[in-house]
Amino acid sequence: MVVVTASINPVLRFQDFSLRCDKSNPQISFETPWNWVCDSRKRIAIITNNSFLRYQLIASMSGLVSPVTGQIVGNSVIGWPVGGDGGLDRKLRVSHAFSFLSTVYNDCLDQSLVSIDEFWNILSDTGIEPGLVIKELSRDQKDFLGLALSVIFSFDCYLIPKTRFLMSKPAKPLKELLLRQIEGKMLFSTSANVQFQREFCTDGLVLGPLGQILFLGPLADAIQWADQNLEGSNVLESEDDSFEFDLNLSNSDSTDDGMDF
């Protein structure tokens, strides 16, 4: 049952929280489970060399994978990964997708700083009309739609794993809207794009390969600390693409239930 709705003063508490750290070995998890609270208004850039840990963190916060131990508790609505469209079937029309999400995340739409008219106008400018089927859209249009759908809802906590499209020129209008939406909200990003970090994040969290919290503080200090102490912290963003967030969530269209007697 949906018991957590958009909150005025959201917080997130990591309670005995531990994740897998090695893709090839499920037994390897955090050395010391996390026990800390993230207050509202903290926009945190996660800096770590372990790309699987970055993926695990976003996936577990968005509910796609279970943590090894512990849980995240709090009164906050955590959004799906920004720009992600893994939950939308390719056969849906754009209007169907919006209608579905606006019903499920109705409370987040009510608090949005972006109006529905503004949303449709922006989509219309890129040739995305409500009646179009998602699979008919071009790659860029799909990326745009995925990002636009993440931007129109006002979540207490945003998760941003990838920033390639967000930081590109076509996404500029959406980037401005997202900056407006995240004002006063929590944000976790695992992107290694420094320009993005400087524009969107206030704090940095440097993690060791086994989830050790090495540094937590203002973003500039965290980046400097990582540069000095973390070998190869400035990883290319292409590494973010190595793990997809919607691997197992395809729908089955077999009709063998019908006339089978």
Partner 1 sequence: MIFLRRFWAAMARQISTILALAAYENDRKSTSSSVGSWESLINPLQIMLFFIGIRIGFRYLLSGGSLGGSATSLYFNIVIFMAAGFTIYFPFRQLAIQALSGLKLRSPLYYKRIEPLDILLALSINNIRALLTLTLGLMALIWALTWDFRMDSPGLALCIYLLTVVMAIGFGICLVFLGSYNKFITRLIKRLINRILIFTSGLFFATFELPLYSRPFVTWNPLLHAVELFRYSLNNEYPIPDISLSYLIWCALILLGFSLILYRTNESLLLESVDD
Please provide the DSSP assignment of 217-247 as one string.
Answer: EEHHHHHHHHHHHSTT-S--GGGGGGS-S-T
Amino acid (1-letter code) at residue 66: S
Which 114-153 positions form the footprint of partner 1 (CB under 8 A)? Answer: 133
Cross-strand bridge partners of residue 133:
93
Tokens representing 112 are 């949005």
Question: Minimal distance in Å, beta carbon 90 to partner 1?
Answer: 8
Q: Provide Rg for the chain, Cα atoms.
A: 19
Check residue 161 for interaction with partner 1 (CB under 8 A): no
Which 33-62 positions form the footprint of partner 1 (CB under 8 A)? Answer: 55-56, 59, 62
H-only helix segments in 75-218: 94-104, 106-110, 116-125, 139-152, 172-181, 194-200
In the complex with partner 1, which residue's Cβ is closer, 72 or 177? 72
Total residue count of the chain as it appears in this document: 261
Check residue 255 for interaction with partner 1 (CB under 8 A): yes
Question: Minimal distance in Å, beta carbon 71 to partner 1?
Answer: 13
In the complex with partner 1, which residue's Cβ is closer, 91 or 180? 91
Check residue 242 for interaction with partner 1 (CB under 8 A): no
Check residue 105 for interaction with partner 1 (CB under 8 A): yes
Q: Are 185 and 158 in contact (CB under 8 A)?
A: yes
d(CA 82, CA 249): 17
In the complex with partner 1, which residue's Cβ is closer, 128 or 226? 128
In the complex with partner 1, which residue's Cβ is closer, 45 or 101? 101
Tokens representing 159 are 């998760």
Choices 176-184, 196-204, 209-217, 245-253 (CB under 8 A): range interacting with partner 1: 245-253
Check residue 24 for interaction with partner 1 (CB under 8 A): no
Q: Which of 44, 78, 151, 192 binds partner 1 (CB under 8 A)?
A: 78
- CA 250 from chain center: how many Å? 19
Check residue 250 for interaction with partner 1 (CB under 8 A): yes
d(CA 81, CA 241): 13
Choices 28-36, 104-112, 177-185, 209-217 (CB under 8 A): range interacting with partner 1: 104-112
d(CA 6, CA 76): 6
d(CA 180, CA 222): 24
Choices 19-27, 164-172, 185-193, 197-205 (CB under 8 A): range interacting with partner 1: 19-27
In the complex with partner 1, which residue's Cβ is closer, 5 or 7? 5
Check residue 8 for interaction with partner 1 (CB under 8 A): no
Check residue 6 for interaction with partner 1 (CB under 8 A): no
Closest CA to 159 of 76, 252, 229: 76
Amino acid (1-letter code) at residue 218: P
Residues forming the site for partner 1 (CB under 8 A): 1-3, 5, 20, 23, 26, 55-56, 59, 62-66, 78, 80, 84, 86-89, 91-93, 96, 99-101, 103-107, 133, 243, 245-261
